Amino acid sequence: DAKTTQPPSMDCAEGRAANLPCNHSTISGNEYVYWYRQIHSQGPQYIIHGLKNNETNEMASLIITEDRKSSTLILPHATLRDTAVYYCIVRVEGGNQFYFGTGTSLTVIP
Protein backbone atom coordinates (compact mmCIF):
# COMPACT_ATOMS: atom_id res chain seq x y z
CA ASP A 1 0.00 0.00 0.00
CA ALA A 2 1.11 3.52 -0.75
CA LYS A 3 2.30 5.39 2.30
CA THR A 4 2.10 8.84 0.80
CA THR A 5 -0.55 11.49 0.24
CA GLN A 6 -0.38 14.18 -2.40
CA PRO A 7 -2.77 16.85 -3.63
CA PRO A 8 -4.65 15.56 -6.68
CA SER A 9 -3.83 18.49 -8.92
CA MET A 10 -1.84 21.71 -9.17
CA ASP A 11 -1.25 24.45 -11.70
CA CYS A 12 1.96 26.34 -12.28
CA ALA A 13 2.80 29.22 -14.59
CA GLU A 14 5.43 28.53 -17.20
CA GLY A 15 8.85 29.72 -16.08
CA ARG A 16 7.93 29.73 -12.42
CA ALA A 17 8.98 27.21 -9.82
CA ALA A 18 6.64 24.27 -9.28
CA ASN A 19 6.54 23.06 -5.69
CA LEU A 20 4.89 19.68 -5.28
CA PRO A 21 4.24 18.54 -1.71
CA CYS A 22 4.05 15.01 -0.36
CA ASN A 23 3.11 13.77 3.07
CA HIS A 24 4.64 10.56 4.39
CA SER A 25 3.95 10.85 8.09
CA THR A 26 4.48 7.15 8.82
CA ILE A 27 7.86 6.94 7.13
CA SER A 28 10.44 4.80 8.89
CA GLY A 29 14.08 5.67 9.46
CA ASN A 30 15.40 3.52 6.65
CA GLU A 31 12.80 4.44 4.04
CA TYR A 32 13.80 6.53 1.07
CA VAL A 33 11.57 9.03 -0.72
CA TYR A 34 11.45 8.70 -4.51
CA TRP A 35 9.81 10.95 -7.06
CA TYR A 36 8.65 9.91 -10.49
CA ARG A 37 6.56 11.54 -13.14
CA GLN A 38 4.37 10.06 -15.84
CA ILE A 39 3.49 11.78 -19.04
CA HIS A 40 0.36 10.50 -20.69
CA SER A 41 0.67 6.98 -22.12
CA GLN A 42 4.30 6.57 -21.15
CA GLY A 43 6.11 4.71 -18.40
CA PRO A 44 7.04 6.62 -15.25
CA GLN A 45 10.28 8.60 -15.41
CA TYR A 46 12.60 8.69 -12.42
CA ILE A 47 13.30 12.20 -11.12
CA ILE A 48 15.13 12.10 -7.80
CA HIS A 49 15.31 10.36 -4.44
CA GLY A 50 16.63 10.99 -0.96
CA LEU A 51 16.75 9.75 2.61
CA LYS A 52 17.04 12.79 4.86
CA ASN A 53 19.29 15.33 3.21
CA ASN A 54 18.08 17.66 0.53
CA GLU A 55 19.03 16.54 -2.95
CA THR A 56 19.44 18.29 -6.26
CA ASN A 57 20.04 17.05 -9.77
CA GLU A 58 19.64 18.39 -13.27
CA MET A 59 15.88 17.85 -13.18
CA ALA A 60 14.76 18.95 -9.75
CA SER A 61 15.42 19.53 -6.09
CA LEU A 62 14.06 17.46 -3.24
CA ILE A 63 13.50 19.07 0.13
CA ILE A 64 12.83 16.69 3.02
CA THR A 65 11.68 18.11 6.34
CA GLU A 66 13.79 17.47 9.40
CA ASP A 67 11.24 15.07 10.86
CA ARG A 68 11.03 13.38 7.43
CA LYS A 69 7.25 13.38 7.53
CA SER A 70 6.93 15.38 4.37
CA SER A 71 8.88 16.44 1.34
CA THR A 72 8.64 18.85 -1.55
CA LEU A 73 9.75 18.35 -5.11
CA ILE A 74 10.82 21.58 -6.75
CA LEU A 75 11.00 22.09 -10.49
CA PRO A 76 12.87 25.41 -10.59
CA HIS A 77 11.63 26.71 -13.94
CA ALA A 78 8.59 24.81 -15.10
CA THR A 79 8.07 24.33 -18.82
CA LEU A 80 5.05 23.05 -20.71
CA ARG A 81 6.81 19.70 -21.04
CA ASP A 82 6.72 19.32 -17.27
CA THR A 83 2.95 18.81 -17.42
CA ALA A 84 2.56 15.29 -16.02
CA VAL A 85 1.40 13.25 -13.04
CA TYR A 86 4.01 13.32 -10.28
CA TYR A 87 4.29 10.43 -7.86
CA CYS A 88 5.97 10.41 -4.48
CA ILE A 89 6.91 6.95 -3.20
CA VAL A 90 8.57 5.69 -0.04
CA ARG A 91 10.52 2.47 -0.04
CA VAL A 92 12.58 0.60 2.50
CA GLU A 93 16.28 0.48 1.66
CA GLY A 94 16.89 -2.84 0.05
CA GLY A 95 13.18 -3.45 -0.24
CA ASN A 96 11.89 -4.30 -3.62
CA GLN A 97 8.41 -3.12 -4.21
CA PHE A 98 7.39 0.40 -5.20
CA TYR A 99 3.75 1.12 -4.46
CA PHE A 100 2.29 4.10 -6.25
CA GLY A 101 -0.22 6.44 -4.69
CA THR A 102 -2.59 8.65 -6.62
CA GLY A 103 -0.04 11.32 -7.47
CA THR A 104 -0.40 15.01 -8.34
CA SER A 105 -1.44 16.06 -11.81
CA LEU A 106 0.66 19.14 -12.58
CA THR A 107 -0.46 21.43 -15.36
CA VAL A 108 2.00 24.07 -16.51
CA ILE A 109 0.12 27.01 -17.94
CA PRO A 110 1.59 29.22 -20.69
Partner 1 sequence: GAVVSQHPSRVICKSGTSVKIECRSLDFQATTMFWYRQFPKQSLMLMATSNEGSKATYEQGVEKDKFLINHASLTLSTLTVTSAHPEDSSFYICSARGGGRSNSPLHFGNGTRLTVT
- Report 43-102 residues binding partner 1 (CB under 8 A): 43-46, 49, 51, 87, 93-94, 96-102
Q: Which is nearer to partner 1, 7 or 32 (CB)?
A: 32
**Sheet of strand 104-109, all strands in order from the earlier edge strand to the far edge:** 9-13, 104-109, 84-92, 31-38, 45-50
Give, for 36, the enclosing helix (H) or strand (E): strand 31-38
Least CB distance to partner 1 at residue 15 (A): 27
CB atoms within 10 A of CB 58: 5
Residue 29 and residue 87 in contact, taking contact as beta carbons nearer than 8 Å: no
Q: Which is nearer to partner 1, 15 or 28 (CB)?
A: 28
Least CB distance to partner 1 at residue 67 (A): 20
Least CB distance to partner 1 at residue 48 (A): 9
Amino acid identity at 81: R
Chain contacts with partner 1 (rule: CB under 8 A): 2, 32, 34, 36, 38, 41-46, 49, 51, 87, 93-94, 96-103
